[in-house]
Amino acid sequence: MTAAPDSASAGPAPAAKPVVPVVLLAAAAAGLWAASRMTWVTVYSADGLTEPRTDNIDGAVWFGALTPLALVLLASIAAVFAVKGVLRQLLGVVISVVAAVAAVPGFALTVGAGRTPERGAQLAELPVRAVVSSAQAHLGPALLSILAAILALAAGILLTRRAGDRGGDSGKYDNPVFRRAEASAQVSRAQGDTAAPLSDRVLWDALDAGTDPTDDTDTAPGEHRR
């Protein structure tokens, strides 16, 4: 009679699906895409010959990589399910780098770093004779891009940590103590069932654990092993 498998031989539990990182990545991608469609800077100018001019510069123009970065985060959602282990950990690192890059323009505009009027005049393609009277920075879209970058960074960190946790579980089952216990359980289940061949590694581990793979004591009286 074949012994029923016990919980000790069940092996490591399957890894949980990365639901939280995926949700964070989706929210981050949506946030960056929305920020790229919003007005970041409004430039007011005049050339002395025509009416004063007003130019609204959206996020996709102010920072050309904003939309591509949103698409990268969106594509990374599929990559999360396509890779596992160390590859998923590396993916988390890449996502963290993308998040850091995405946060730079919004942070610079929020703190007033850079030459906003000059850059606004250049992006608005003003004529040479035009003079910029003022440039208004809109903090809402900039803060939205920073928030999206923070969400992406959190997703990257979670993916890195989850990959590390799985590595720890794998190392536990590579421990000789657990390996020998698993080998003994496999030998016990195989007693009386020659249809389930055992590898040499399992047989040696079972011997190390004190289990004799040739012991037929579990076979019912009057029965013979084939």
Residue 46 C-beta-side C-alpha neighbours within 13 Å: 7
How many beta carbons lie within 10 A of that of residue 222, not counting itself?
5
84-104: per-residue pLDDT in tens?
Answer: 889 999 999 999 999 999 999
5-64: per-residue pLDDT in tens?
Answer: 444 444 444 556 789 999 999 999 999 999 999 999 999 999 878 888 999 999 999 999
Edge-to-edge strand ranges of the sheet holding 39-46? 53-58, 39-46, 131-137
Give the C-alpha separation, 173 to 3, whole Å: 22
Q: Are 149 and 102 in contact (CB under 8 A)?
A: yes
Task: Kindly report the pTM of this predicted structure.
Answer: 0.66
User: How would you classify the pairing of strands 39-46 and 53-58?
Assistant: antiparallel
pLDDT at 176: 63
Name all domains of the chain by residue range, CATH numbers in brackets.
19-169 (1.20.140), 175-208 (no CATH)
Task: Give the Å distances, CA to CA, from 106 to 31, 32, 46, 135, 157.
Answer: 12, 10, 27, 16, 21
